[in-house]
Structure 1
Amino acid sequence: MIGEAFAVAAALLYAFGSVAVTQDARENGGRGTAVVLSILLTTAISGLLWLFIGLPLPTPSEGLWAGIAYFCVAGLLATVIGRVFFFRAIELTGAVESSLFRRLIPIFAVVMAVIFLGERVTLSTAVAIVLVFAGVGIVILSVPENPQAAKVNTAERKDRMTGRLLGVGSAASYGGAYVTRKFGMVWLPDPLAGTFIGAIAGLVVFCALAPLNEHFRAQIRAVLRRPTRWQVLAAGAISFGQIAQFTALKFTSVTAVAIIASIEMFFAAWLAGFVLRSEPRPGPRLLAASVLALIGVTILALDRGGA
């Protein structure tokens, strides 16, 4: 159950990060410029933890280099593509709506895990999937039509659609990152090393693309300015969330981690509604959906704990 506990912690941290990004966008007009800050924090935090409590690197071999290569690919998928799309989607659509599109992550991840890793979906896992996604479905189907939608201008509708597409793209990238991280763990079973290597790969890509793309240049320039408190909180939460999720993959399957990641949307809704009060408070339907998801995650954790 260690892996499942880390997966739940990761979901909570990612949820707080998404709500913090929304707060920054509303208060300071943020436009995804905390991405590089979050990568820098991930690099620093995982690097220091690896230095003091991580495992030493094994003797150089083809397996070691294979593990490093997989972690670099995972870093590109999650730290660069997934995270850039994630930050911008939140700013364009809000924490709750963007989290709905991120529910595609488990679908991508489970399908890829079955195809590439040969993972099996047991009866208990299937029940957990049904319960969690039933909760997600309740939330999606209960979202009311916005009476002001007709008044939204063309530019705002375009931004919202762009945010939705970015949310789907982020989900696909994160789903692929689950599988590549798991492959990397086969050769280098240290989540701290994997997180550090992936973050370094992300920084290299950002620096390499900065001269060619204004968006990436803006990301680099943003690091030189004093970050807002919400940017720091978002970057820190997402950095620790990535480390926790990487650790979860060491102890349990991609399928389990991906399913548990789905409860991020419930954490985000409760944090935004009751703690930060940045969005409307969740109603009874979300409460019922949260209970279903909690039961599903509990079944999954007990099943994995007894395996």
Structure 2
Amino acid sequence: MGHGDARSLSRDPRIGRHRTRGSARQPKHGLCSRLRTTRCSASRADREIGMAWFAGRLGETFAILSVLAFAYGGVSIAKAKLYGKGDGGVVLSVVFTTLLSALVWAVAGTPAGSLPGTPDLMIGLAWFAVSGLLATALARILYFMSVRDLGAVRGSAVKRAIPFFAAVFGVLFLGETLNSNKLLGLALIAVSIAVLVAVDLARRGGSEADAVASIGYAWGTASALCYASAYVARKLGLGYVPDGALGTFVGSMAAVAYYAFAVSFNARARTATFAALSLKNNWAVVAALCFSIGQICNFYAIQHTAISTVGAIQSLEVFVSMVIATVVLRTERAPGWTTIAAAVAATVGVLLVVA
């Protein structure tokens, strides 16, 4: 190539532009690479922070999952009542709880060789059995009876008494403490329960309806007391054997033994049990499955956080039940503003307890 050609090339504006652009891209590529590295590091740090936060709130997460399962199960009880007679799935739920908890323990539980020694193991299993009799047998029967008489929304509202019993038992038996936020939150929950019950009883005009409602609220209160007592037994058992799936399995087996004993000596219980296990009512099956999942999640929640916190989160069940019953499954009429306000007050109370 001659000198003339070289001069013509150097004067060509396109070549200058290409060279200028090419030389400008080099630092730009380096800057983009550094920006991508910085963004990746930031996103990795955000993920680590999120995982750390989630690990710190594992008990609360399981408690929320338990609320969702119990709420849908409670509405399914009311739905099952519309499609046939029976216990609404209470016996079937015990069977499902036993099978599911055994599966969870086999897959993700503590291996048998890693369990504690004999004294601690036997004490822990004994507490698990007590919790099963209190929650899976007595409390669940009483709650199903409460929902049968009151409906899903009002029946779950009475379960908001659980935080009071759980908080008192936690202080008395487990050495837990209550700060000002928790006390204020429990007070809000108490007011919401009182308002809801008072408004509901005032709205009912007939004496027969009043009697049924009173019995239903009595069943619900007794159920809440049994559930809170079961929380304490679970927490004590987990102190010896820290395995929620094993605890749920042992507790449900104790409940199965309770029903087997009742069937052996009571013909009416035998007939009701066989009818419940016939799987003829699809909504009873749904209720049983939901309560089984809720029971397992509740056990893991108690394993990872205080029982007063778990009890407070459980009080959100009335709000979730309200949405499912009136919007999703449409088993009940939309609640009035008083009921909604009471549910909001309970929600604020739960947030104060958990904070």
TM-score of the pair, normalised by structure 2: 0.77
TM (norm. structure 1) is 0.89
CA RMSD, 1 decimal: 2.1
Equivalent residue for 1:241, pick from 283, 286, 294: 294
Q: Which has the larger radius of gyration?
A: 2
Residue 26 of structure 1 pairs with residue 82 of structure 2: yes
- 2:242: which partner in 1? 189
Q: 2:275 aligns with which of 217, 222, 229?
A: 222
Displacement of 1:138 after TM fit? 4.1
Counterparts of residues 4-83 of structure 1 (less than 5 Å)? 4-28=60-84, 30-32=85-87, 34-57=89-112, 58-83=115-140
Alpha-carbon contact 1:35-1:235 (below 8 Å) kept: yes
2:181–2:353 CA contact under 8 A, matched in 1: yes
User: Which structure 1 residue ranges, 5 or more long, are not aligned?
Assistant: none
**Is contact 2:204–2:210 with CA below 8 Å preserved after alignment?**
no
Superposed displacement of residue 197, structure 1: 0.6
Q: After superposing the two structures, state which structure 1 stretch, 98-107 or 108-117, moved more.
A: 98-107
Higher percent of residues as helix? 2
Q: Distance in 2 between matches of 1:117 and 1:71?
A: 16
Q: Is the 8 A contact 1:35 1:219 kept in 2?
A: no
Contact 2:62 2:297 (8 Å CA) reproduced: yes
Paired-residue identity, %: 33
Deviates more, 1:222-231 or 1:74-83: 222-231
Report if aligned partners of 2:102, 2:249 keep a CA contact under 8 Å in 1: yes
Structure 2: how far apart are the matches of 1:86 and 1:219?
17
Report the Cα offset of residue 220 of structure 1: 2.4
Match of 1:201 in 2: 254
Pick closer, same or farther for the CA change 1:195–1:246 going to 2, 3 Å.
same
* Count of residues in Structure 1 that have an aligned counterpart in Structure 2: 297
1:98 and 2:98 aligned:
no
Three-state SS of the structure 2 residue aligned to 1:91 is helix
Moved more, 18-27 or 103-112: 103-112
What is the CA–CA distance in structure 2 between the aligned matches of 1:228 and 1:130, rounded to whole Å? Answer: 40
**Alignment match, 2:222:** 169
Unaligned runs of 5+ in 2: 1-56
Relative to 1, partners in 2 of residues 1:115 and 1:13: Cα closer, same or farther, differing over 3 Å?
same
Amino acid at match of 2:177: R
| One-letter identity of the residue aligned with 2:254 | A
Q: Is the alpha carbon distance of 1:2 and 1:108 closer, same or farther for their aligned partners in structure 2, counting shifts above 3 Å?
A: same
Kindly indicate whether structure 1 or structure 2 has the higher relative contact order, using CA contacts under 8 Å at least 6 residues apart. Answer: 1
Q: Displacement of 1:141 after TM fit?
A: 4.1
Given that 2:80 and 2:88 are in contact with CA atoms closer than 8 Å, whether structure 1 keeps it comes out as no
Q: Segments of 4+ in structure 1 off by > 6 A?
A: none
Residue in structure 1 matched with residue 265 of structure 2 by the alignment? 212
